[in-house]
A and B are shown apart, each in its own frame.
Chain A
Amino acid sequence: MADTFDLIVIGSGPGGYVAAIRASQLGLKVGIVERENLGGICLNWGCIPTKALLKSGEKYESLSHLKDYGLSADKVGFDFEAIIQRSRKVAKQLNSGVGFLMKKHKIEVIEGTAKLEKGTAAPKVVVALNAGGNRTLEAKSVMLAVGARARAISQIGLEADGDRIWAYREAMAPKFMPKSVVVIGSGAIGIEFGSFYRALGAEVTVVEAVDRIMPVEDIEVSKAAQKAFEKRGMKFRTGCKVTKVSKDKAGVKVAIEAGGKAETLEAEVCISAVGITANTDGIGLEALGVNMDRGHITIDGHCQTNVKGLYAIGDCAGAPWLAHKASHEGIHAAEHIAGYKTPNVHSPIAGCTYAQPQVASVGITEQQAKEEKREVKIGRFPFKVNGKAIASGETEGFVKTIFDVKTGALIGAHMIGAEVTEMIQGYVTAITLEATEEDIHGIVYPHPTMSEAMHEAALDAYSRVLHI
């Protein structure tokens, strides 16, 4: 087996394997090192299997509204184990799919754990093979796509133990259906798990340190989301600091503190969703002198680190920690390695949360616009007056648009409601193609669709809304 490559990608998540395919398309000889599952967290333990779970939850919840649609059913119920099984099966299917793609593109998959050593054109990659033994790989370029893992805060006992304290992995393939859950952190991961377990009937309390849930979202969306989740029976403790997580046979005790008042929440399990830690330890980055910033690898506009021939993409190279951002960077870096003279990697990255209701956004929030002292026009349109939403019985939520006054550029879009995660790409396209309000106003949105609300929200920003 050859040990020299044009490019070695370390990590086969949505950043790494996509970069490997792109590099192969461009004629490079590519090897990819993976220590666990092809497809990384996203396919195996993240994005995809959670969507499988959430779909089960959503379908189950919709059964409780059958009457609204003139339908009835007896003996409605669920098989928790089957739900988990389905999710695992979905992950397995996609994992094999990545294996097939690697083969198709003649990308050699090296199963093992990589470590970098000083090299000439780029650092050398020494792989401790899963099958035993070592293999040293040399390449003109090396791309780190090593991702991140759930953050643990051991000082307060917040560390997944596979028993009562879960991180995403345990929460995705649990041994039992908990009756009560305390979720710590109200970002996308916390909200999704909270939403899933609540849909199946668990008592769910979400604890958030900031004074509102989903803090990266626009404040109006935060408020609407909290209301919508509370309507479904979720409880929220915002502005709360978790001081201690402890467990006993019965379950967990989560000590919280808000405004000087201490309190203890009790539940069967606790799900930790307090952010991520980049997997940058143990790869030999310190010895190479790779520049880091708060645990993440520092990169330039072409995803290059300060070390010759060494690139970094995705979660390990900083926020936002999203699969599509990793893929985008991976493709850019692969093209840069192949000699493409493309401008700096820079595109709007949308964020999606697949709870009930869904939340999706791209660009800046109204608060950010204020902080940046930008003069903006804001438009809003609720789904409750959208024909398709009424017909579907999914009138929850709204669309909000933010335009720059001077240029008319769309600079932010925020949505909450059914299937908004599928719609946000309309605005992503508009922002990427640098549309102005004039262009969006001129787009013909098909009727009847919920996407018409996107048109109306853009019209509303310029006082031209039609259906209010």
Chain B
Amino acid sequence: MTDILMPALSPTMEEGVLAKWHIKVGDTVSAGDVIAEIETDKATMEVEAVDEGEVLEILVEAGTEGVKVNTPIARLAGDDVAPAPKKAEAAKPEAEAKPEPKAEKAEAPKAPPAPAKDGERIFASPLARRIAAQNGVDLKSVKGTGPHGRIVKRDVEGMKGGTASASAAPAKGEPRQVLSLEQQGIAPGSYDLVPLDGMRKAIARRLTDSFRDVPHFPLTIDCEIDGLLAARAQVNALLEPQGVKVSVNDFIMKAVAMALKAVPEANASYTPEGIAMHHHADVAMAVAIDGGLITPIIRKAETKSLAEIATESKDLARRARDRKLKPEEFQGGTFSVSNLGMFGIKSFASIINEPQGAIMSVGAGEKRPVVRGDSLAVATVMTVTLTCDHRVVDGAVGARFLQAFKPMIENPVTMLA
């Protein structure tokens, strides 16, 4: 049997509304079938089946609010793992059983399931169980230090924020299970454990998948940006009355968009059905925020002026830091830019942000010796590295993109051409 879990529609989503079922008990689903609709406070999205099999049980009824991510919502027959906890156990109601089980149950496992997937009982004190449930800590992942390895309060205290995983089977594509730190010789108590929040889990999962599964390679090129810096000074002088200030990164976003327009093969995504050639350059920019990063998107950047890009990116970055972005504002870009120039990083190669075909890593602009003709000169040089998904962006395609990008960033006036 396989449990279908409540999916996370965004890296920060913790719960949602199970709006509608497209399947019923007895239906046979195959991977890719739309099985349900999930609403967050921002959007409604369709959920596709990942596994195939006959629908054995619908565990969470349509219209249920507050369904926690990773709660089992339906069960498929299949040759997978042993039965996960039954409905009643998975969603064990609180002490005061209220005569309104529908919404209550959907609030999902307040008490974590006692039986593990192999039917083994988890020994934990009542208080440890409750604190774990309140903090969304999966007791199966906790090592007990009480008598006979019983999980007690001190083992779960301070562990916070993880998603409540009532499922026995790890989500597909979860980072591989490594040996515990203790097994690797790091003594318990010699470190503090920062619990994984939704964002950290999303980063771990997505980037592990990408780095492992996407055949990637880097292409590096140096760009002289003295012309860009001069142009920026002019532009900013011009825009000053409007209170707009254009950053080097805004120029890069614009140049990337123009280069993508010039080399559309670099603005593409690999799918098993074919290569998706995107109509617009929806350029995502990596923004570091507390506890992780997020990639808000400048949509149709090729159509936007520098001032528009500057204004928009400033707003997006601010709201990203406040964690106020809507899912559609950070999901669905076609190309990413990651800039660590402000930290003095010379060059680096980012990990592909699937399903995008490439990501550009921007280093610091710094004065370096350059050879002009047969003599040395000094120029402000910025190294950029393009990491390409070889399934869509071959070496030559990536190189042509950088060839298009370089003159635009070195001489921004050419973007007008």
Q: A: which residues have CB within 8 A of B?
A: 343, 406-409, 433-439, 441
CB <8 Å contact, B134 and A434:
no
Instruction: Check if B306 is an interface residue, CB within 8 A of chain A.
Output: no
CB <8 Å contact, A434 and B95:
no
CB <8 Å contact, B127 and A407:
yes
With A343-B145, A434-B153, A438-B95 known to touch, is A408 a contact of B130 (CB < 8 Å)? yes
Query: What separation, in Å, do the CA atoms of A435 and B95 have in the docked complex?
Result: 14
**28 contacts across the A-B interface (CB closer than 8 A):** A343-B145, A343-B154, A406-B134, A407-B127, A407-B130, A407-B131, A407-B134, A408-B127, A409-B127, A409-B153, A433-B125, A433-B126, A434-B125, A434-B126, A434-B128, A434-B152, A434-B153, A435-B125, A435-B126, A435-B127, A436-B126, A436-B127, A436-B130, A437-B95, A438-B95, A438-B126, A439-B126, A441-B95
Query: What separation, in Å, do the CA atoms of A414 and B206 have in the docked complex?
Result: 54
Q: Nearest 5 CB-CB pairs, A to B? A: A434-B127, A434-B125, A438-B95, A436-B126, A439-B126
Q: A408-B127, A434-B152, A436-B127 are in contact. List 12 more A-B contacts (CB 8 A).
A: A343-B154, A407-B131, A408-B130, A409-B127, A434-B126, A434-B127, A434-B128, A435-B125, A435-B126, A436-B130, A437-B95, A438-B126
Could you say which residues of chain A place their CB within 8 Å of the CB of B154? 343
A174 to chain B, nearest CB (A): 46
Could you say which residues of chain B place their CB within 8 Å of the CB of A439? 126
**CB under 8 Å from chain A, chain B span 116-170:** 125-128, 130-131, 134, 145, 152-154
Could you say which residues of chain A place their CB within 8 Å of the CB of B130? 407-408, 436
Could you say which residues of chain B place their CB within 8 Å of the CB of A407? 127, 130-131, 134
Could you say which residues of chain B place their CB within 8 Å of the CB of A343? 145, 154
B132 to chain A, nearest CB (A): 11
Could you say which residues of chain A place their CB within 8 Å of the CB of B152? 434
Query: What separation, in Å, do the CA atoms of A163 and B154 have in the docked complex?
Result: 52
Could you say which residues of chain B place their CB within 8 Å of the CB of A438? 95, 126
Query: What separation, in Å, do the CA atoms of A434 and B123 have in the docked complex?
Result: 13
Residue of A nearest to B151 (CB): A434
Query: What separation, in Å, do the CA atoms of A437 and B152 have in the docked complex?
Result: 16
Could you say which residues of chain B place their CB within 8 Å of the CB of A437? 95
User: Interface majority SS on B: helix, strand, loop or mixed?
Assistant: helix
Could you say which residues of chain B place their CB within 8 Å of the CB of A434? 125-128, 152-153
A411 to chain B, nearest CB (A): 10
A258 to chain B, nearest CB (A): 44
- Give 1 or 0 for each of B306-327: 1 = CB within 8 Å of chain A CB: 0000000000000000000000
A295 to chain B, nearest CB (A): 30
Q: B: which residues have CB within 8 A of A?
A: 95, 125-128, 130-131, 134, 145, 152-154
Query: What separation, in Å, do the CA atoms of A343 and B153 have in the docked complex?
Result: 12
A248 to chain B, nearest CB (A): 58
Residue of A nearest to B124 (CB): A434
Tell which of A433, A434, A435 has the most Cβ of chain B within 10 Å. A434
Query: What separation, in Å, do the CA atoms of A438 and B127 have in the docked complex?
Result: 10
Residue of B nearest to A464 (CB): B96
Query: What separation, in Å, do the CA atoms of A433 and B152 have in the docked complex?
Result: 8
Query: What separation, in Å, do the CA atoms of A436 and B145 have in the docked complex?
Result: 19
Query: What separation, in Å, do the CA atoms of A429 and B154 have in the docked complex?
Result: 17
A125 to chain B, nearest CB (A): 32
Query: What separation, in Å, do the CA atoms of A251 and B102 have in the docked complex?
Result: 78
Query: What separation, in Å, do the CA atoms of A458 and B153 have in the docked complex?
Result: 21
B242 to chain A, nearest CB (A): 50
Query: What separation, in Å, do the CA atoms of A331 and B95 have in the docked complex?
Result: 37
Query: What separation, in Å, do the CA atoms of A441 and B94 have in the docked complex?
Result: 13
Tell which of B125, B126, B131, B145 has the most Cβ of chain A within 10 Å. B126
Query: What separation, in Å, do the CA atoms of A241 and B51 have in the docked complex?
Result: 79
A461 to chain B, nearest CB (A): 13
Residue of B nearest to A440 (CB): B126
Tell which of B130, B145, B152 has the most Cβ of chain A within 10 Å. B130
A364 to chain B, nearest CB (A): 15
Could you say which residues of chain B place their CB within 8 Å of the CB of A408? 127, 130
Could you say which residues of chain A place their CB within 8 Å of the CB of B131? 407
Could you say which residues of chain A place their CB within 8 Å of the CB of B134? 406-407
Query: What separation, in Å, do the CA atoms of A185 and B153 have in the docked complex?
Result: 37
Could you say which residues of chain B place their CB within 8 Å of the CB of A435? 125-127
Residue of A nearest to B131 (CB): A407
Query: What separation, in Å, do the CA atoms of A62 and B154 have in the docked complex?
Result: 47
Query: What separation, in Å, do the CA atoms of A408 and B154 have in the docked complex?
Result: 16
Query: What separation, in Å, do the CA atoms of A9 and B153 have in the docked complex?
Result: 33
A108 to chain B, nearest CB (A): 32
Query: What separation, in Å, do the CA atoms of A408 and B95 have in the docked complex?
Result: 11
A439 to chain B, nearest CB (A): 5
Could you say which residues of chain A place their CB within 8 Å of the CB of B145? 343
Query: What separation, in Å, do the CA atoms of A287 and B95 have in the docked complex?
Result: 59
Query: What separation, in Å, do the CA atoms of A437 and B153 have in the docked complex?
Result: 15
Residue of B nearest to A438 (CB): B95
A313 to chain B, nearest CB (A): 21
Query: What separation, in Å, do the CA atoms of A439 and B130 have in the docked complex?
Result: 11
Query: What separation, in Å, do the CA atoms of A219 and B152 have in the docked complex?
Result: 31
B99 to chain A, nearest CB (A): 17
B130 to chain A, nearest CB (A): 6
Could you say which residues of chain A place their CB within 8 Å of the CB of B153? 409, 434
Query: What separation, in Å, do the CA atoms of A57 and B134 have in the docked complex?
Result: 51
Query: What separation, in Å, do the CA atoms of A406 and B126 have in the docked complex?
Result: 14
B125 to chain A, nearest CB (A): 4
Query: What separation, in Å, do the CA atoms of A439 and B127 have in the docked complex?
Result: 9
Could you say which residues of chain A place their CB within 8 Å of the CB of B95? 437-438, 441
Could you say which residues of chain B place their CB within 8 Å of the CB of A406? 134
B165 to chain A, nearest CB (A): 21
B347 to chain A, nearest CB (A): 48
Query: What separation, in Å, do the CA atoms of A441 and B96 have in the docked complex?
Result: 11
Query: What separation, in Å, do the CA atoms of A343 and B152 have in the docked complex?
Result: 11
Query: What separation, in Å, do the CA atoms of A180 and B188 have in the docked complex?
Result: 60
Query: What separation, in Å, do the CA atoms of A235 and B399 have in the docked complex?
Result: 97
Could you say which residues of chain B place their CB within 8 Å of the CB of A441? 95
Could you say which residues of chain A place their CB within 8 Å of the CB of B127? 407-409, 434-436
Query: What separation, in Å, do the CA atoms of A82 and B128 have in the docked complex?
Result: 53
A328 to chain B, nearest CB (A): 15
Residue of B nearest to A408 (CB): B130
A343 to chain B, nearest CB (A): 5
A412 to chain B, nearest CB (A): 15
A336 to chain B, nearest CB (A): 15
A87 to chain B, nearest CB (A): 38
Query: What separation, in Å, do the CA atoms of A343 and B128 have in the docked complex?
Result: 16
B128 to chain A, nearest CB (A): 6
Residue of A nearest to B129 (CB): A436
B149 to chain A, nearest CB (A): 12
A358 to chain B, nearest CB (A): 28
Residue of B nearest to A343 (CB): B145
B96 to chain A, nearest CB (A): 9
Query: What separation, in Å, do the CA atoms of A438 and B131 have in the docked complex?
Result: 14
Query: What separation, in Å, do the CA atoms of A441 and B134 have in the docked complex?
Result: 20
Tell which of B127, B131, B134 has the most Cβ of chain A within 10 Å. B127
Residue of B nearest to A430 (CB): B126
Could you say which residues of chain B place their CB within 8 Å of the CB of A436? 126-127, 130
Residue of A nearest to B95 (CB): A438
Residue of A nearest to B111 (CB): A438
Could you say which residues of chain B place their CB within 8 Å of the CB of A433? 125-126
Query: What separation, in Å, do the CA atoms of A437 and B126 have in the docked complex?
Result: 10
Could you say which residues of chain A place their CB within 8 Å of the CB of B126? 433-436, 438-439
A435 to chain B, nearest CB (A): 5
Query: What separation, in Å, do the CA atoms of A408 and B153 have in the docked complex?
Result: 12
A176 to chain B, nearest CB (A): 52
B138 to chain A, nearest CB (A): 18
Query: What separation, in Å, do the CA atoms of A407 and B127 have in the docked complex?
Result: 7
Tell which of A406, A407, A441 has the most Cβ of chain B within 10 Å. A407
Residue of B nearest to A342 (CB): B145
B41 to chain A, nearest CB (A): 26
Residue of B nearest to A441 (CB): B95
Could you say which residues of chain A place their CB within 8 Å of the CB of B125? 433-435
Query: What separation, in Å, do the CA atoms of A71 and B152 have in the docked complex?
Result: 53
